[in-house]
Amino acid sequence: MRTPRNTPASDSSADGEALLDVRGLSVDFPVAGGRGRTLRIVRELDLTVAPGERVALVGESGSGKSVTARALLRLDRHAVIGGQILFEGRDLVTLTERELRRIRGTRIAMVLQDPQTTLNPVLSIGDQLAETLTIRGVPRKAALVRAREALDRLGVARAGERLRAYPHEFSGGMRQRVCLAMAIIGDPAVLIADEPTTALDVRVQQQVLELIDELAAESGMAVLLITHDLGVVAGYADRVAVMYAGRKIEGSGVEDFFAAPRHPYAQGLLRSVPRVDRDVSTDLDLIPGTPPNPAEPPSGCAFHPRCDRWVERCLTEIPELRVLQDEERAVACHRALPEREEVVA
Amino acid sequence: MTSMTTSALLRRPVLRLRRMPKLDRAAFAMVGLLLLTVAFGPLLAPYDPYHVDLGQAMLPPGAEHWLGTDSSGRDVLSRVLYGARPTILGSLCAVGLSALIGVTVASLAALAPRWVDDAIMRICDIALSLPIMVMALGISVALGPSLRSAIIAMVLSWWPSFTRLARAEIRTTMTSTYVESAVITGVSRWRLMTRHVLPNSLDSVYVQVTLEIGGATLIMAGLSFIGAGAQPPSAEWGAMVESGSRFLTSAWWTAVVPGAVITLTALAFALAGDALRARTSGREVM
Amino acid sequence: MDRRLTRYLLRRLWLVVLAVWGLATLVFFMIKAIPGDEAQSAAGITATPEQVEVVRERLGLNLPLWGQYLAYLGRLLHGDLGSSIFTFRPVTADLGGALPATVELVAAAVLLNLLIGVPVGMLAAAYERRRPDAAIRLGAIAGGALPLFWLGLILQHLFGARLGILPISGTQSMGMEAPRVTGMATVDSLLAGDLMGWWDAVQHLVLPAVTLSVPFIAFAVRLVRTSMITALEADHVVMARAKGASPLRVMLQHGLRTCLGPIVTLIGMQTGWMIGAAVLIEGVFGRPGVGAYLTEAVQQKDTFAVLGVVLFTGVTVTLVNLAVDLVQLVSDPRVRAAQLGASPLGAKA
């Protein structure tokens, strides 16, 4: 699709130029009926996105990746957020709601998983597209003109006519185009795309990814792509961060990652991706077991119950994310895989 | 559909009191107390609730008459204890019968051809368009005002809401895989309904019954209050409020006490129903 | 679009006709269930045997049952609900006289419900699982558990008799009555330009309207809260926040707007229930409305009056339901799509 740019691959070397710099992010949710008890869904998460960069945040469902995405703009009403989210020199965690509202939509925009539910069923497409602008005082007429342009850019035919339509009159792929138009209308510096293709059928998935790619290339917008699908990542991202049980367990450049993931979990994920060069029927081995329940996390490394390389230390000590020597990648594992592993059949 | 069958619900310690919020605990305790009063109230009553003694009329609450006496000198506490039967038992009957009819009709509708189902739903619409009070007053002129007429009226206007509820649940259950597989193995329609569908559809009906008993108490008392239910001098709570209402200035307790008891009853059943609903559906309801 | 709309309206009207016919049938059988001679009760206890025979002939009571049924339906079509044995007037005339007081009361209670129930429910949703929410929840459950008639008595005693702030009963003070136009004291005094009279009528309306609205507000609060919470969890609300919309805008435009359907339905249904509940209130507060008329008629064993009111109320509720459906149709594009089929644009999409 496009060649990865020559951006520094590791987190640590992105320092000064990061557009979005997340440090030690934690997200807690109150337990329903738990009288103030909370559950920690995301822990000690570091993540950087440089201007124009495409970063993929990968994990199974329940790994905390979507919670992270929403936490970046503090969108969950009940979430308690800790750590720092530095964006253009300001910490989004400590901003007032009012200051944060100025950033939402125009500096950082979002696309959610299911276009069916992301669109308000009782408002016309035009009003929803224009909303990002009208709430900032742009007159409705002017905003609708911009909305029409946005739809045009996304290749929606008869855009003018479509503005008056309601979401139920669109197909799934069309709705996601509308959602994308809604995201770019404010001309953001970062687009957070939370599983933007999951709810779509395979044929449309590729189109939507290509659209995001084009939009980002045209405007120099950075993209944080949240996904469970490594297949999506391969052709798309510059860097990959893998999450497991609320923690980031590996972060590296996309080529390094696909050449040899260092965390056993990342390796397992990669093996479970169907690939053309392997016989699908025999070699698709999924990681056994299920992700841990956040209410009862395992001791030590959260992945050890599903890991085939564990040693005693894994049961007691939570591995820290450490930068591997001579490499531009970080792994949180006591038993990280060697740099070049013989490919297991 | 709720995820558990009722039998599972009962096996699971739903009423595990220690784990329950204080308020829910209090509600279940209050419901228990009320049911005990229904059973043993007459045994506990210190006086004969119908014994008229004008020399003892309108005594304020005190050592001898804890809740005072009414305008005819009858002991209010005794009357309240006796009154639990017509009011609560009457409401239980009305709601229970409505639920029974509602579920039966819904089951028949599920097995019958489409047009029968449609017709039943239209009848439900019609019955639901009559406010329960109005329906009850109609019945009371037709059959004469009495506790029995009140119960009949409540059942007549209440069954359709249970039919609707049960019908929706049954429809959901009917589409589940285990019902489909039972159909494939060729069980009879009767067995299908009684063994496979109904046991898995009735959770919300049970919860609804609990929730509605509180409301039914209010309506039962209201009917007696306007003279379409239990007739004076019967010790029914609504009728007691009515006869006490004339003496609010001179003997407030004669109207306030039975009204407060009605409120407590409705409150207890509402809270208990809510707690049950939260436990069966697994989601928090207000 | 137009043909589909016409077809929908016709179908809906047909259902209304069906419902009214069902109600009429129900009432007919109620009359038949009454023990004793119907002609005698229609003619009155004092009627001579000859007079009773005349009435029997005119009401068609010597026909077989189905003939009586047809005769009864025929009279209904002419708007004849029979005569009251107590006021000696046609039931329809009595109803016409009683209706304004009830409409005024129910309208005031609905207004209170909209002004209090909806915002408080939204407030609870906004503070979900926090202290204000818990307090509102308890208040709503308690409000729903209050017996209306008892609450009315106590408020009347407190504010009327004890504190003397508000009038105890009636719709207006002696000598304050404006010329009767609509029959609603608040409206008539305004039409007459009599502000003092209007204020007096409003004061008379406060206690009954508050009393009547309490359980309905309690219910509305809970429904609004639940539907708002569901609505606020929806992705499109998250999206609205992600666009930078203010909390108020999120609540109103994206929360309330999408759950308007259930709220409108509820308010419609409650209007029907309020007519029923007015039966309990109007007597207590001495308001000459349909409910008071009905209670009176029950006590006088005034068969035709009671059954006339039963039929009338049922029809009113049916019509209110129709109105609710039409409001939904206009306000919600989803309902429009479901009832009228996909729009032309969607067909091509």
CB contact under 8 A, C144 and B270: yes
Position C208 scores a pLDDT of 93
Query: Domains of chain A: which residue ranges?
Result: 9-107+188-278, 117-186
For domain A9-107+188-278, say whether CATH 3.40.50.300 is its number.
yes
Q: Which residues of C touch A72 (CB under 8 A)?
A: none
Residues 203-242 of chain B with CB under 8 A from chain C are: 214-215, 218, 221-222, 225-228, 238, 241-242
Beta-carbon pairs below 8 A across chains A and B? 3
Long-range contact pairs involving C132-136 (C-beta distance under 8 Å, separation at least 24): C133/C225, C136/C221, C136/C225
The per-residue pLDDT for range C121-141, each reduced to its tens digit, is 999 998 887 888 889 988 998
Three-state DSSP at B234 gives coil
pLDDT at A34: 63
- Domains of chain B, CATH where assigned: 39-44+65-280 (1.10.3720.10)
Q: A82-103: per-residue pLDDT in tens?
A: 999 999 889 999 999 899 999 9
pLDDT at site C97: 87
Percent of chain B as helix, strand, coil, to the nearest 5? 75, 0, 25
Distance, CA of A32 to CA of A29 (rounded, Å): 9
pLDDT at residue B46, rounded to an integer: 80
Instruction: Write the DSSP string, B4-18.
Output: S-HHHHHHTTTT-GG
| Unique residue bearing structure tokens 């979430």 | A79
Q: Which residue of A has its CA nearest to B282?
A: A32
pLDDT value of residue B283: 43
Q: Both tokens of residue C267?
A: 């308010």
- The candidate with the shortest Cα–Cα distance to A156, out of A128, A176, A134, A186, is A176
Shortest Cα distance, chain A CAs vs residue B270, angstroms:
19
State the Cα–Cα distance between residues A249 and A45, nearest whole angstrom: 9
One DSSP character per residue, A176-200 reads HHHHHHHHHTT--SEEEEESTTTTS
Report the pLDDT value the prediction gives residue B95, as an integer from 0 to 100.
Answer: 93
Using CA atoms, how far residue B165 sits from B124, B269, B279, C19, C206, in Å, is 11, 19, 18, 21, 37
Residue pair A224/A191 in contact (Cβ under 8 Å)? The answer is: yes
Strand A190-194 to strand A108-111: parallel, antiparallel, or no bridges (unpaired)?
parallel
How distant, in Å, are the alpha carbons of A107, C199, C203 from that of C193?
Answer: 58, 11, 17
Q: Which region, left, alpha or beta, applies to residue B176 given φ > 0 means left and ψ of -120 to 50 means alpha?
A: beta
A-contacting chains (≥3 CB pairs under 8 Å): B, C
Q: Alpha-carbon distance A231 to A270, whole Å?
A: 9
Residues paired with A108 in a beta bridge: A104, A190
Determine the residue of chain C that is closest to A110 in CA distance: C242
Select the residue of B130, B142, B262 nearest C150 (Cβ to Cβ).
B262
Neighbour tally for C108: CB within 10 Å: 20
Preceding amide of B233 cis, omega within 30: yes
Look at A168 and C253 and tell me if their CB atoms are within 8 Å.
Answer: no
Amino acid, single-letter form, for residue A206: Q
Listed as ranges, residues in chain A with pLDDT below 50 are 1-15, 280-283, 341-345
Q: Do A75 and C333 touch (CB under 8 A)?
A: no
CA-nearest of A297, A294, A344, A288 to A318 is: A297
Rounded CA separation B254/B241 (Å): 7
What lies within 8 Å, CB to CB, of B193 at 6+ separation is B107, B110, B111
One-character DSSP codes across A289-343? S-PPPTTSPPSSSTTGGG-SS--HHHHH-PPP-EEPTTSS-EE--TTPPPSSPPP
Contacts of B134 in chain C (CB under 8 A): 275-276, 279, 294, 309-310, 313-314
Strand A239-244 versus strand A222-227 pairing type? unpaired
| Interface residue C183 vs chain B (CB under 8 A) | no
Q: Which residue of A has its CA nearest to B284?
A: A32
Nearest residue on chain A to B21, judged by CA atoms? A33
Chain C interface test: which of A66, A111, A168 (most C C-beta within 10 Å): A168
| Chain C: closest CA distance from residue A302 (Å) | 29
The rounded distance, in Å, linking the Cα atoms of A331 and A338 is: 12
Strand partners, B69: B75
Kindly tell me the sign of the dihedral angle through the C-alpha atoms of A207, A208, A213, A215.
Answer: positive
Write down the pTM of the prediction. 0.81
**C212 CB within 8 Å of a chain B CB:** no
State the pLDDT at residue A273.
72
Question: Hey, are the CB atoms on C236 and A122 less than 8 Å from each other?
Answer: no
Q: Are A121 and C241 inside 8 Å of each other by CB? A: no
Q: For A195-204, how does the pLDDT look when each residue is reduced to its tens digit (9 = 90+)? A: 888 878 888 8
The neighbouring-strand residues paired with A87 are: A20, A90
CB < 8 Å to B284, chain A = 32-33
For chain C, the first-to-last Cα distance in angstroms comes to: 17
Enumerate the residues of chain B whose CB falls inside 8 A of the CB of residue C301.
141
Is C217 within 8 Å of chain B by CB? no
CB-CB under 8 Å, B133 with C226: no
Q: Is B176 on the interface with C (CB under 8 A)?
A: no
Q: Match 């339905």 to its residue by tokens.
A: C265
Residue B20's pLDDT is 65
Q: What residue spans of A154-250 are helical by DSSP H?
A: 159-162, 172-184, 202-219, 230-234
Neighbours of chain C (3+ CB pairs under 8 A): A, B
Q: Contact A32/B21, CB-based, under 8 Å? A: no
Chains that touch B (3 or more CB pairs under 8 A): A, C
Give the separation between CA A32 and CA A13, rounded to whole angstroms: 41
Sign of CA dihedral C42, C45, C47, C50: positive
CA A282/CA A61 separation, integer angstroms? 24
SS3 of residue A84 by DSSP: strand
Indicate the helix (H) or strand (E) that contains B33: helix B22-44
Least confident of A96-100, A340-344, C272-276, C290-294: A340-344
Per-residue pLDDT of chain B (286 residues; tens, 9 = 90+): 334 444 444 444 444 555 667 778 888 888 888 898 888 888 887 878 887 777 777 778 877 777 777 777 788 788 888 888 888 888 999 999 999 999 999 888 888 888 888 888 888 888 888 888 888 888 877 788 888 888 988 898 888 989 988 888 888 887 777 777 777 777 777 777 787 788 777 878 888 888 888 889 998 888 888 888 888 778 888 888 888 888 877 778 888 888 999 999 999 998 888 888 777 664 444 4
- In this predicted structure, what is the pLDDT of residue B9? 44
Q: Are strands A222-227 and A190-194 parallel, antiparallel or unpaired?
A: parallel
Q: Quick check: helix, strand or coil at residue C179?
A: coil
C149 and B125 within 8 Å at the Cβ level: the answer is: no
Distance from the Cα of residue C50 to its chain's centroid: 42
Say whether residue B21 is in contact with chain A using an 8 A CB cutoff.
yes
Interface check for A33 against chain B (CB to CB < 8 A): the answer is yes
Residue pair C14/C22 in contact (Cβ under 8 Å)? The answer is: no
- Return the SS3 of B218: helix
Say yes or no for a CB contact (<8 Å) between C242 and A73.
yes
B150 touches chain C (CB under 8 A): no
Identify the three-state secondary structure at position A80.
strand
Q: Could you read off the pLDDT of C243-262 as tens digits, one per residue?
A: 999 988 888 888 888 888 88
Nearest CA in chain A to C347: A169
In chain C, residues with a C-beta closer than 8 Å to the C-beta of A123 are 253, 257
Q: Between helices B76-84 and B253-281, what is the axis angle to 10°?
A: 30
Q: What is the mean pLDDT of chain C?
A: 84
For residue A105, the chain C residues in CB contact (below 8 A) are: 242-244
Placement of tokens 């249970």 in the chain: B162
Answer whether A289's CB lies under 8 Å from A60's CB: no
Is the CB of B126 less than 8 angstroms away from the CB of C309?
no
Touching C: B residues 84-123, CB under 8 Å: 122-123
CA distance A117 to chain C (A): 5
- Whether residue A162 contacts residue A156, with contact meaning beta carbons closer than 8 Å, is answered with yes
Strands A90-91 and A80-87: antiparallel
> Which residue of C130, C227, C235, C250 to mutate against A (max A Cβ within 10 Å)?
C235
Q: How many CA atoms lie within 13 A of B110 on its CB side?
A: 27
ipTM for the whole predicted complex goes beyond 0.85: no
Three-state SS string across C148-159, please? HHHHHHHHHHHH
Q: Is the CB of C150 less than 8 angstroms away from the CB of B285?
A: no
Nearest-CA distance A122 → chain C (Å)? 6
- The DSSP H or E segment spanning A110 is strand A108-111
